[in-house]
Each structure stands twice: as C-alpha cells, then as structure tokens.
Amino acid sequence: MTKPVIGFIGLGLMGGNMVENLQKRGYQLNVMDLNKDAVATCVARGAKAVSSAKELAANSDIVMLCLTTSAVVEKLVYAEDGILAGIKEGSVLIDFGTSIPASTRKIGADLAKKGAGMIDAPLGRTPAHAKDGLLNIMAAGDIETFNKVKPVLDEQGENVFHLGALGAGHTTKLINNFMGMTTVCAMSQAFAVADLAGVDRQQLFDIMSAGPSNSPFMKFCKNYAVDGVSDLGFSIANANKDLGYFLKMVDDLGTESKIAEGSSANLQAAFDAGLGNGNVPEIFDYFVKLEK
C-alpha cells in the first residue's frame, strides 16, 4: 500500500527529529521552516523543500505542524498562501503543538468546508523519543479521520491515545502542563524557602520524597536546586506560554483557576527576569532572589 505524502512545517528539535523518523520509515516529505539549515538537513535525506504553506498543502496527503503558538498556526492556515488555500479534499491537518482548543476547533470547522479533516495531537516525551518514534501522542478528532492517520501516528508514537472530539487533545495537554508546571513551581519555591530558612535542601528532599509528594517532577526540581543539574528539558518560556493558554481555556469555559493564576504570575516574573530560556526548575533562582 502506498504511503501518504506528508507535508511538515516546524523543524525545531522535536519536529526535525519527527521528520527524520518518518524519513527512516520510508515516507516522502515536503518540508518548510524559517531555519534554512534545518530544511537543508531534511532535503539531504530526500525531502522536498517548498516555498509556501499553500504549495506544501497542495502536494501533501497529510499536513503536520509542530509550531510554537496558536497565533503562528493560524497565520500559516489563513494566510493568502496558507494551508487553507492549498489543502486538498480528503487531506488531514495534524497539529502536534500545544494550542488553544477554541482556535483548533475553529480551524477544523474551516477545513471541513473544504472537505479536509483535522486532528489535534499534542506530544509527550522528548526529541530523543521523537527520533525513535516513541512519543506519547494525545490525539483527538472524529474517529474516521483519526483512523485514517493512525498508521502514521503509530510510527511516530509508542503510545497513541484517542481522546474524543477535536480540541480534546489540546485540552488534555494544557491540563497536563498546568498540573506539571504548577508542581514544579511549588517544589522549586519549597526548596527556595528552605534555603532562606536555613533548612538543608537535601534533607528536605529526603523527607518529602519519602512520602506521597514524591514524583518525577520533584526529582527534576531536586536535581537543579540541590545538585545544579538542569535536566527537565522544558523551558520557562514554554511553560509560561502554556499556562497562559490554560487560563484562556479556563476563561472560555466560564470559570477561573487561582492556582493557575499564581503559577502563571511566577513564570511570567521569571521570564521577565531573563530566565525564559532556562528549564522550568531553574525558576528556583528566581525564588531565592525574592528575599525581602
């Protein structure tokens, strides 16, 4: 059976490794990115570079996006030379980024008018997992569209979940990141307060990790606050963006989250202090400087 032609936009660490994995598995790809070196790397392995999202969509059966924000996704979809202008009837757009669910549903409705489908499929795990096709993929969209692209998703993810109607994947990812990033903010501040109070950080970890608070996130925070090792691999800037999206989603649902507002305020403050490129546990450095 002939493999679908895939168009891929967004060749950062995650997207670039996803493309390499697909190429190793025999897929033909059309690629596009502002980073010309990243494009050249894919082309050297047999991909075709395209000059516009319209061209990419017109020549692909599945269009995949691995981009930074909902605003960037909407710009590529709705531009005069964008995806919507070129996408073929029967094609499917997959958004692997972390986007605002209301935006995702709007794009899906507009694609449906052209006979194209959409799946939101945010990712778990790391770029290293992407290279080996071992991601966790939180996919959502109508089941017929999901089943159409599932064979490709299965070659990209070790665990591929179908979570329901379009937008449920992005909703789940934002909830997941709200929980995770709030945990990191709380634990990092716990280490900072211990330090200011003269309590040994290692001893704090030994005590807390012996109880129900123990978690991989706690270990990431300990690795930085105690050992100086920053190994979570998720930036304060990205966490700040995702908490902002979570708050937008909560507002769209007609409710509020004071907990998320607190985490978001701390992440924004750390970002404003110049720590945005650091991994999230490095917010510890921001907290220790809050001493009055």
Residue type, 137: I
Closest CA to 83 of 54, 50, 113: 54
Number of neighbouring beta carbons within 10 Å of residue 130:
24
Amino acid at 239: A
The verdict on whether 173 is a catalytic residue reads yes
Q: What is the per-residue DSSP string for 88-139?
A: PTT-EEEE-S---HHHHHHHHHHHHTTT-EEEE--EES-HHHHHTT-EEEEE
Which one of 131, 173, 222, 241 is the catalytic residue?
Answer: 173
| Residue 78, phi then psi, degrees to nearest 5 | -100, -5
Which residue reads 């269009």 in tokens? 63
Query: In 227-262, which positions are buried (b, 16+ CB within 10 angstroms) versus exposed (e)?
Result: eeeeebebbbbbbbbbbbbbbbbbeeeeeebeebee
Give backbone dihedrals phi and psi of 233, rounded to 5 degrees, phi first. 80, 30
Q: How far apart are CA 196 and CA 178, in angstroms?
A: 27
Q: Which residues are catalytic?
A: 173
